Amino acid sequence: MAYDFDLFVIGGGSGGIAAARRSTEYGVKVGLAEAGRLGGTCVNRGCVPKKLMVYASHFPEQFKAAKGYGWTVGETSFDWPTLMTAVNNETTRLNGIYQTMLDKSGVKLFRHFAQFIDDHTLQVGEETITAGKILIAVGGRPVRPEIPGIEFTITSDDIFHLPQQPQRIAIVGGGYIGSEFASILNGLGCQVTQIVRSNAILRGFDDGMRQEIQTAMANAGVKVMTECQPVAFEKTKDGVDVTITTATGAQHVLVDAVSLAATGRIPNIDKLGLDKTAVSIENGAIAVDDYNRTSVPHIFAVGDVTDRINLTPVAIKEGRIFADREFGQKPGVMNYDAVPTAVFTTPEMGTVGLTEQEAKDQFGDTDIQTYRSRFRPMYYTLPGIEAKTLMKLVVQKSTDRVLGAHMVGDHAAEIIQGVAIAVKMGATKAEFDATVAIHPSSAEEFVTMR
């Protein structure tokens, strides 16, 4: 049977665009459907605008540090609308770049939603389109829990479009999204209350690192409420009254805005018409094998819609490996071991490999040795700022292999990216030790720990 396209991609985010462009390099005919802005969550509601806000939130400390180096900084002020306009202009610019990339690659873009009619056929706007292979890359969306007054809250997606800066804000959730926005908004001058269900923020990350970040955030002015959760939101003339259950009873926090920043995201599959296909769904996500193939052999899925590791670089790599394998005759599968990641709180965290507890659970307490360094970076000595950096290496004694590397402090993401190469390659602690340090730097601690 002749199809309209060799490959049709549903979703114009990072994973879908990467797969579409790479596939055209092998001479196949590719179509892509995206009704919203190109670039997906990362460009429009995640990585990019968030990181720009992180940069903005660091200036107050930089102004303070400048005095210690002999600079005189005059009166400063912050204008929220100016920042939001600049951030949104940048995302619009990136949307245009993605459009240009698709055009140059020869991918035919459909500015409509796509919905399955059957395993090979899609309804795309007014058109009916067939494809030999179909890739689903529609990402995820935030979840709104059923709590009284939930309509008076916003999600993390909405923060980038608030016309005015909230002076008081509650961040619900202790995951990386919630913790990042708590740090950002605190740095921009908001009074921030972070409401966390567990006993500490950033569950799933190394315990020492998450405690270091939580302590630093609290010292910077974020009110972190742990082991509690909101049970009601009520709009009043003075703001939004948040009722919170705690171990000692109900408490109330009055804020200008409530962000459901970390109450979860789920695969965005509701309107795909998957019931018209034999694609299997497990725990709300599209089930795929090691080759990102669904239960229908010619239908594939990458990125957050599969709910594996929900990171933009993972989706991009999945998409490119898919294209290379299916159209370039280059066998390969995605390796999810030692995927590095960063959390852009203040201070930020970079991490790769196993946490200390994961390593002990896997290999036993007696076979694991950790190396730790905590210090004040040189940058903060002249201004007299009590900022700390914490680094940790998790090592298997029997093999001397470095199983995990973790850092909290300035430029942690930049530093861990390089360290991740060594961890991925299976470097030993002896090989770390044999590496000559760059002095003076914070990064040198990773090769001088004893």
pLDDT digit string (tens) for 98-118? Answer: 999 999 999 999 999 999 999
pLDDT classification of 290: cutoffs 50, 70, 90:
very high
Residues classed as catalytic = 439
CATH number of the structural domain 5-142+266-328: 3.50.50.60
Domains 5-142+266-328 and 150-263 share a fold: yes
Is residue 181 within 8 Å of 258, Cβ to Cβ?
no
User: In whole angstroms, what is the distance from residue 303 CA to residue 315 CA?
Assistant: 4
The CB density around residue 65, as the number of other CB atoms within 10 Å, is 18
Residue 430 has a CB neighbour count (10 Å cut-off) of 11
Q: Look over the chain and give the mean of its residue pLDDT values, rounded to a whole number.
A: 96
Contacts of 381 (CB under 8 A, 6+ apart): none
SS percent in the chain: helix, strand, coil, step 5: 35, 25, 35
> How far is it, in rounded angstroms, from Cα 76 to Cα 124?
51
- Mapping DSSP to helix (H, G, I), strand (E, B) and coil, where does residue 280 land? coil
**Is 80 exceeded by the pLDDT of residue 394?**
yes
Quote the pTM value. Answer: 0.95
* CATH architecture, range 347-447: 2-Layer Sandwich (3.30)
Bridge partners of 134, per DSSP, are 8, 299
Domain spans in the chain, listed from the N-terminal domain onward: 5-142+266-328, 150-263, 347-447
- C-alpha distances out from residue 81 to 58, 84, 181, 189, 402, Å: 18, 5, 17, 14, 46
Domain boundaries 150-263, CATH class:
alpha beta
Q: What is the pLDDT of residue 261?
A: 59
Task: Look at residue 262 and tell me whether its pLDDT is greater than 70.
Answer: no
